Amino acid sequence: LSAAVNTYGVCGAATVNVANGVYNESLLLSNIPGASATNTLTIDGGDSSLTTLVHDGTTNLGTITLDNANYVTIRNIGARHTGTNGAAILVAGNSDYNTFSNNDLRVNVNTTTSLVSCITFTSNAGSSTAVPSDGDYNLISNNRMIGGYYGVRLYGSTTIINTNNRVIENE
């Protein structure tokens, strides 16, 4: 999926319905050609308790990573990050207008380091703490987040201000 979407993009609104199962891999979406307010990409797991991605952070810091990806919706997916650095969802670069909803996100519950969060916004997909992040108009809603030093980590700066991001109704 990553290779096809990152190479060929979308030419209309597209929905990917993910079959139930446990997938031991990560998902990296980057610079999706054709993505826009009308040409959106939705990845739907159907049920976050039955469709799960599990990743240890060896190839990507995020189990799900959006790197300069816009107009993506990730919903109804379980995402587990088992590594000591990274996130269940990593939002990098100028990733704007994305939605993360009804997901079950889990990372190490015993971590004592700020390198592990359920959702991390960063300026660089290769670093879970690169600041400032520059993601705008993202929605994080109705997710269940377990573990991590932070539930959601989003840092801006006085010159790069993250605007209109909403974090609502999460557990």
Structure confidence at residue 45 (pLDDT): 98
Q: Which residue has the tokens 């994080």?
A: 140
Structure confidence at residue 133 (pLDDT): 83
Q: Which of 88, 90, 113, 97 is nearest to 32 (CA)?
A: 97
**Contact between residue 78 and residue 47 where contact means Cβ atoms under 8 Å apart:** no
Structure confidence at residue 145 (pLDDT): 98
Q: List the chain residues with pLDDT less than 50.
A: none
Please write the tens of the pLDDT for every residue from 76-86: 999 999 999 99
Please write the tens of the pLDDT for every residue from 93-103: 999 999 999 99
**What 3 state SS string does 96-148 have?**
CCCEEECCEEECCCCCCCCCEEEEEEECCCCCCCCCCCCCCCCEEECCEEECC
**Contact between residue 161 and residue 137 where contact means Cβ atoms under 8 Å apart:** no
Q: Which of 4, 71, 75, 60 is nearest to 28 (CA)?
A: 60
**Residue count (the chain):** 171
Structure confidence at residue 127 (pLDDT): 87
Structure confidence at residue 134 (pLDDT): 83
